[in-house]
Amino acid sequence: MLENGRKVLKEGVLEKRSDGLLQRWKKKLCVLAEDGVLLLPPKRPHSGGDATRAKELSFANMKTVDCEERKGQYVYFTVVMMDGKEIDFRCPQDEGWNAEITLQMVQYKNRQAVLAVKSTRQKQLLLAGHRTVQTSSDLA
């Protein structure tokens, strides 16, 4: 369980390509939750990780997970954010991070779509009920 009560679905180490000129692969502690992915510096003995340097990739801001490629022992994939930013990752082939992130993102988007439809229907029912009340009072 994360601090804010979010359920941890998967935790492990992923490698993220840096944005810098050299674009080195850096290990990150990755925590997959129902609403996004939290990236932390890898835990070192006696440090417990540095939560202040955490980066959160929220599914609300995530567009897609794509560009899967298998080379040697790694699977390479890219997380594309709504603003167009692309974040490259790699992990050992047997860990399936790309599939887990994709699955959770799709489930999150589906939950949001269901909530949006329910909200729209409730608004329509309220408006229809309000019109019925107005029509009944107009007749009186």
φ/ψ bin of 113: left (φ > 0), alpha (ψ from -120 to 50), beta (otherwise): alpha
Which tens digit of pLDDT belongs to each residue from 81-124?
Answer: 999 999 999 999 889 999 999 999 999 999 999 998 888 888 88
- How far apart (Å, rounded) are the C-alpha atoms in residues 34 and 87? 19
Show Cβ contacts of residue 55 under 8 Å, excluding neighbours closer than 6 positions.
38, 39, 40
How do the domains of the chain map onto residue ranges? 8-139
Q: What phi and psi values does residue 72 have, to the nearest 5 degrees?
A: 60, -130
pLDDT of residue 10: 95
pTM value > 0.85: no
The domain made up of 8-139 has a fold known as: PH-domain like (2.30.29)
